[in-house]
Chains A and B, each alone.
Chain A
Amino acid sequence: MIPSYVPPKYRVEVDPNRCMLCERCTIECSWGVHRRDGERIISYSNRCGACHRCVVMCPRDAITIKENAISWRSHPLWDVDARVDIYNQAKTGCILLSGMGNAKEHPIYFDKIVLDACQVTNPSIDPLREPMELRTYIGKKPKQLEFDFVEEEIDGKKIKKAKLKTKIAPNLKLDTPIMIAHMSYGALSLNAHLSFAKAVKECGTFMGTGEGGLPKPLYPYADHIITQVASGRFGVNEEYLMKGSAIEIKIGQGAKPGIGGHLPGEKVTAEISATRMIPEGTDAISPAPHHDIYSIEDLAQLVRSLKEATRWKKPVFVKIAAVHNAPAIAVGIATSDADAVVIDGYKGGTGAAPKVFRDHVGIPIEMAIAAVDQRLREEGLRNEISVIASGGIRCSADVFKAIALGADAVYIGTAAMVALGCRVCGRCYTGLCAWGIATQRPELVKRLDPEVGARRVANLIKAWTHEIKELLGAAGINSIESLRGNRDRLRGVGLNEKELEVLGIKAAGE
């Protein structure tokens, strides 16, 4: 066996003076870090991913986890990560897997954009005493409205009444522009999905199923669920398509643009196999492309086939990863009968991705939304299709900025998981999540109470919604739809001219 040359990333210490040997940590840690040895707890630091489960659950506050302050010879090029990756690949000969979003120190453009606010000439609005409209509709909008004028006699008077002639396509009604992103059943536990489903129902918004199908316990929430059709077509049948409120075709994902998905066979349990409709224990492989899509016209064909299957009653979204030609693809999507285009940025999370993809492929969501919005405007299509932004949305300000850059609404993924307790330890792909979120192990899944989870997620969405109202008021705007693409409300700080140009915003002071 080839030994590992990688020292532990964290140092786990149990204070013997505080520890009462209750062994709670040995039960809570799904990674096997802690073990009782006689009258003490021994900790195997090399197994620790800093998920904090033991720290939070220890009744005596006896556990400390620190970054292992081991000295590495410093080098500006050969940083520790580069060396650790080489040690691991030299040991295994495998593609390195990773969870969560991009872990490189790329610029976070959201943090280099500030919001403008009103002062005197265009006064701000107080959302505590004036209504703020956060409701928005996702779906196809008509180019123009046409009316038939019918003359009716009311109280002896002849009155011309306008009747809407234009057929309005089905839209999703969102009470807040925050939805929960597609994360599959398989990557996430049933209790995590139940938490999301209960929360979105309460908040008047939607969640995505991901590509893992729709488990039966989620059926009662189906009117707040968007089902997903990915290249593997797992769990896709007529009932599934009809159940949800909308359908999303997944072409690409921000965490791994250009590649497919792969749920390893050991995670395909009886429940997962029933939902995905594949035998237990076999790999669930979603190939990189949809093999019936090799052109925009082919994509249009799939959009239309889903519309036919649902009798043109469900909006169909198309999700692509943020890449440099996203604007051209978005134009194709807009002309294909699709109702919304979802752009997933390279900081978007995932249950499992090759590390090299997660950290190096894709472009920032901020740039992608701005470019897509701009191009759709130039083509005269922006008013017909909705744009949803996702990938690395961390707070209400990010939501606000994404909408001001051109999105109609956002998806949040990692943020919703953090609300459930996720520590962003990045080891979702192991299926050992100690918080019961990214796991299928029954003993771990039951750690997450869906009622408590739903409360936390709903609280988060409501808190952000309040903050967005305040931000809107400060910007002198009283509706979220007036913020869409309103880049005049944004200013760049520390950005170069080209970056400002792509984002379509002015520099602070301008």
Chain B
Amino acid sequence: MEVEIDAKNMHYKELNEKIHQILRENPNVKKIILKNVLGQRFIGNGLQKKDLTIEIYGIPGGDLGMFMSGPTIIVHGNAEFAPGNTMDDGTIVIYGSSGDVTAHSMRGGKVFVRGDVGYRSGIHMKAYKDKVPVLVIGGTAKDFLGEYMAGGTIIVLNIDEKGNDLGKIKGRMIGTGIHGGAIYIRGEIDKDQLGVAADIKEFTKEDLEKIKPYIEEFCKWFNLSEDIKNKLLNSKWTKIAPISKRPFGKLYTPDLM
């Protein structure tokens, strides 16, 4: 079952309440299409229905899919700041770019952004047992990518909308305070682009096997050609991972002096 909502001139509270109402009244609904979305916040906030897809036409506001656990959200446009904030499970697919703190504190699920992401994306991402969050960025990320990252995977593909290389990544302070998970960036990164506690590690076959399914899924979502997919998989990758699980362990006094 599919339901469409015209969100034109609708306040975010009204729009979100409408979504809740639809889910309450129609447990079999599989797809909700939102048309004319313009800045409405918190879409999908806390939703838990695994077999639900929300398609958004327009530009959703901040905290898209926050605390969400299960659904898939597809955005045909850009997204504002913090899509996937503290998300538990599910998928967010953004055809355009997204703002700062994309995937903030994400704990599970996947976020695919075709374009670029803003500052501090992937900050404080964390993982626990089978919950391993993934953020795949088609273009580039601004500074402080994966800051305080405690788990999960961030992949930066570094291509433009046609699949051409974007050149050398310029982001600074990558992985500041990182103490879990890994950041994979296509291309070369200088050590002085890293933040404290981050390190460049050898990119191994196992790493490629690990990121391959997410790159394939990215290509599938955005209909990228086999050539582009193969180029991505056969590129030079830089792996950024923590120096230690306890980056600031030696900053404080030992237990008893």
Q: Are B45 and A305 in contact (CB under 8 A)?
A: yes
Q: Does A264 contact B (CB under 8 A)?
A: yes
Q: Is the CB of A277 within 8 A of B63?
A: no
For the A-B complex with A279-B128, A291-B101, A291-B147 known, give 9 more contacts whose Cβ atoms are closer than 8 Å.
A92-B253, A231-B124, A233-B86, A237-B86, A237-B88, A238-B67, A285-B177, A291-B104, A292-B100
CB neighbours of B82 from chain A (8 A):
292
Q: Which of B24-70 contact A (CB under 8 A)?
A: 41-42, 45-46, 48, 62-63, 66-67, 69
Q: Which of B90-143 contact A (CB under 8 A)?
A: 100-101, 104-105, 107, 120, 123-124, 126-128, 131
**Nearest CB in chain A to that of B254: its residue:** A92
Q: Nearest Cβ distance between residue A162 and chain B, in whole angstroms?
A: 28
A287 to B67 CA separation, bound complex (whole angstroms): 20
Q: How far is the CB of A268 from chain B (nearest CB, A)?
A: 9
Closest A-B pairs by Cβ, 6 of them: A309-B46, A233-B105, A277-B128, A308-B42, A308-B45, A430-B255
Residues of A within 8 A of B (CB): 4, 6, 31, 47, 88, 91-92, 94-97, 231-233, 236-238, 241, 262, 264-265, 273-274, 277-279, 281-285, 287, 291-292, 301, 304-305, 308-311, 352, 354, 429-432
Whether B252 pairs with A95 at a CB distance below 8 angstroms is: yes
Identify A265's interface contact among B81, B86, B147, B249, CB under 8 A. Answer: B249
- Are B124 and A232 touching (Cβ within 8 A)? yes
| Contact (Cβ within 8 A) B46 A6 | no
B85 at the interface (CB under 8 A from A): yes
In the complex, whether B186 has a CB less than 8 A from a CB of chain A is: no
Residues in B with CB closer than 8 Å to A96 are: 253
A273 → B minimal CB distance (Å): 7
Which residues of A sit under 8 angstroms from B131, Cβ to Cβ? 277
Chain A residue at minimum C-beta to C-beta distance from B105: A233
Of the listed residues A241, A281, A287, A292, the one surrounded by the most CB atoms of chain B closer than 10 A to its CB is A292
Bound state CA distance, A430 and B254, in angstroms? 9
Query: Within the assembled complex, what's the spacing in Å between the Cα atoms of A206 and B249?
Result: 34
Whether the Cβ atoms of A305 and B128 lie closer than 8 Å is no
The interface bits of chain B over 152-190 (1 if a CB of A lies within 8 angstroms of the residue's CB, else 0) are 000000000000000000000000010110000000000
Q: In chain B, what residue has the closest Cβ to A312?
A: B13
Report B227-257 CB contacts with A as 1/0, cut-off 8 Å.
Answer: 0000000000000000001111111111111
Interface pair A283/B85, CB less than 8 Å apart: no
Please tell me if B193 contacts chain A, counting CB pairs below 8 Å. no
B251 to chain A, nearest CB (A): 6
- Supply 24 A–B pairs (Cβ within 8 Å), ascending by A: A47-B256, A88-B257, A91-B257, A94-B250, A233-B124, A233-B126, A237-B67, A237-B88, A273-B128, A277-B128, A279-B151, A279-B180, A283-B179, A283-B247, A287-B124, A287-B147, A291-B101, A301-B62, A308-B16, A308-B41, A308-B46, A309-B46, A311-B20, A430-B256
CB distance from B11 to the nearest CB of A (A): 12
Known: A282-B180, A292-B104. A305 touches B41 (CB 8 A): yes
| Given A236-B67, A287-B124, A305-B41, also A282-B88 (CB < 8 A) | no
B85–A265 touching, CB < 8 Å:
no
Closest-CB distance, A353 to chain B (whole angstroms):
10
Q: Answer yes or no: B79 CB below 8 A from chain A CBs.
A: no
B interface residues with partner A (beta carbon < 8 Å): 13, 16, 20, 41-42, 45-46, 48, 62-63, 66-67, 69, 81-82, 85-86, 88, 100-101, 104-105, 107, 120, 123-124, 126-128, 131, 147-148, 150-151, 177, 179-180, 245-257
Provided the pairs A4-B257, A94-B250, A94-B253 are in contact, do residues A309 and B88 lie with their beta carbons within 8 angstroms? Answer: no
Q: Which of B66, B148, B246 sits near A305, CB closer than 8 Å? A: B66
| CB-based contact B257/A6 at 8 Å | yes
Nearest opposing residue in chain A for B250, CB measure: A94
| A97/B253 contact (C-beta < 8 A), A291-B123, A292-B81, A305-B63 known | yes
Residues in A with CB closer than 8 Å to B126 are 233, 277-278
Beta-carbon contact of A282 and B46 below 8 Å: no
Q: Is the beta-carbon distance between A309 and B45 smaller than 8 angstroms?
A: yes
Question: Min CB distance, A166 to chain B, in Å?
Answer: 17
Chain B residues near A432 (CB-CB < 8 A): 255
Smallest CB–CB gap between B147 and chain A, Å? 7
**How far does the alpha carbon of A402 sit from the alpha carbon of B150 in the complex, in Å?**
40
Q: What separation, in Å, do the CA atoms of A278 and B107 have in the docked complex?
A: 9
CB of B251 within 8 A of CB of A94, answer: yes
Residues of A close to B128: CB separation below 8 A: 273-274, 277-279
CB < 8 Å: which of B13, B148, B252 contacts A97?
B252
* Chain B residues whose CB sits within 8 angstroms of the CB of A278 once the complex forms: 126-128, 150-151, 180
Which residues of chain B come closer than 8 Å to A273, judged between CB atoms?
128
Residues of A contacting B48 with CB < 8 Å?
A: 238
Q: A47, A274, A285, A305: which contacts B179 (Cβ < 8 A)?
A: A285
| Complex contacts, B46 vs chain A, CB 8 Å | 238, 241, 308-310
Set of chain B residues within 8 Å of A88, measured between Cβ atoms: 253, 257
Query: Taking A4-B257, A278-B126, A291-B101 as contacts, is the C-beta distance between A301 and B248 under 8 angstroms?
Result: no
Q: Are B251 and A95 in contact (CB under 8 A)?
A: yes
Question: Do B124 and A283 have beta carbons less than 8 Å apart?
Answer: no
- What chain B residues lie within 8 Å of A282 (beta carbons)? 150-151, 179-180, 245-246
Chain B positions within 8 Å of A262 at CB level: 248, 252
Residues of B within 8 A of A308 (CB): 13, 16, 41-42, 45-46, 66
Inter-chain contacts of A237 with B (CB < 8 A): 67, 69, 86, 88, 107
Across the interface, which residues of A come within 8 angstroms of B245, CB to CB? 265, 281-283
With a cutoff of 8 Å between Cβ atoms, the chain B residues found around residue A265 in the complex are: 245-246, 249
On whether A304 and B124 interact (CB within 8 A), knowing A238-B46, A285-B150, the answer reads no
Judge whether B67 and A309 touch: CB under 8 Å: yes
A310, closest chain B residue (CB)? B46
B24, chain A: closest CB distance, angstroms: 11
A233 to B107, alpha carbons, bound, how many Å? 10
The distance in angstroms between the C-alpha atoms of A442 and B110, with both chains bound, is 37
B178 CB to closest chain A CB, in angstroms?
10
Set of chain A residues within 8 Å of B20, measured between Cβ atoms: 311
A158–chain B nearest beta-carbon distance, Å: 37
Residues in chain B near residue A6, CB distance under 8 A = 257
Once the chains bind, are B85 and A285 in contact (CB under 8 Å)? no
Complex Cα distance A247/B203, Å?
42
Q: Cβ of A264: which chain B residues have Cβ within 8 Å of it?
A: 246, 249, 252
CA distance A277 to B246 in the complex (A): 17
Q: In the complex, what residues of A have CB within 8 A of residue B151's CB?
A: 278-279, 282
A241 close to B67 (CB less than 8 A): yes
